[in-house]
Amino acid sequence: MMNDAMDSGNTRRVYDLAARDYEEIFFDDLSDAHWLDSFSSSLEAPSLILDVGCGPGNFSNYLGSRGHCPVGIDISFEMLSVGRQRRGVHHPMVQGTMERLPFRSGIFDGLLIAYSLLHIPKKNVQSVLQELRRVIKANGRSLLLLKEGDDERVIAASLVAGEFLVASMWRVPELQPLLELAGWNLISAEHGEPARQEEIQEPKLALTLIAA
């Protein structure tokens, strides 16, 4: 079960199946707005921002309303479709993976990586961090939102009966060396409580990063 849950194809399939329910539950969730506002204010508008694992585009819409130019990428085609068809999301969104981003190097001013590492196995995170660093400009700023903890485990997908996903938790001492090796400098770390509707009730961890 662990190997199946870790497969990116499994993640895509589960989120394709969950897309409509996910949009209804989370699109209007503003529990992370304070972090998004701080991130938005740290970048001169309009900045070109990649929303990594954008889902239906809720955070991208939020950044767009703050004067920025968001571009979304998500592994799930259905998530992107739901955002366009049911929420009228109009900014660019493309299907793709964090492992191989379909963008040229050094194009983005900032990255929003909101819980996108949650379903990446820990053994693969180093290469993902390097790929994320590739597409951002030197001295570009990123907001990385995580679930805080020590473990990597298989969880039941709450919106799709009988399906499972890998869930990777992180603490700063474990992740910081990987960030630095990939070319990121950690500027700050903040902690927050989970929203009631979240299936994983571990605390939130918000990291502000600068591309070296």
Model pLDDT for residues 186-197, shown as the tens digit of each residue: 999 999 998 766
**In angstroms, how far is CA 199 from the centroid of its own chain?**
16
Distances in Å between the alpha carbon of 16 and those of 13, 109, 128, 190? 5, 29, 22, 31
Q: CB 67: neighbour CB atoms within 10 A?
A: 12
Strands, E assignment, 81-174 = 93-95, 108-114, 136-147, 152-156, 164-168
Q: Do the bridges between strand 204-211 and strand 136-147 make them parallel or antiparallel, or are there none, so unpaired?
A: antiparallel
- Residue from 20, 2, 8, 211 nearest 97 by CA: 8
What's the rounded mean pLDDT across residues 123-133?
A: 98
Q: Which of 47-56, 62-71, 82-91, 158-167 has the lowest mean pLDDT?
A: 158-167
Residue carrying the six token digits 């209804």: 24
Q: What is the mean pLDDT of the chain?
A: 92
Instruction: Give which of 71, 188, 57 is closest to 136, Cα–Cα.
Output: 71
Stretch among 87-101, 121-135, 172-186 having the lowest mean pLDDT: 87-101
| CB of 209 closer than 8 Å to CB of 148 | no
Averaged pLDDT, 36-63: 97
Let me know: does 36 contact 204? Beta carbons within 8 Å: no
Helix (H) or strand (E) run with residue 134 in it: helix 125-134
Distance in angstroms (rounded) separating the CA atoms of residues 75 and 164: 16
The Cα 45–Cα 119 span in angstroms is 31
Decide which of 20 and 129 is more confident.
129
Contact predicate 131/101, CB 8 Å: yes
Q: What is the Cα Rg of the chain in Å?
A: 16
Amino acid at the residue 154:
V
Confidence (pTM): 0.93
β-strand 184-192 against 204-211: which pairing, if any? Answer: antiparallel
Q: Which fold has domain 2-211?
A: Rossmann fold (3.40.50)
pLDDT over 90, % of the chain: 78
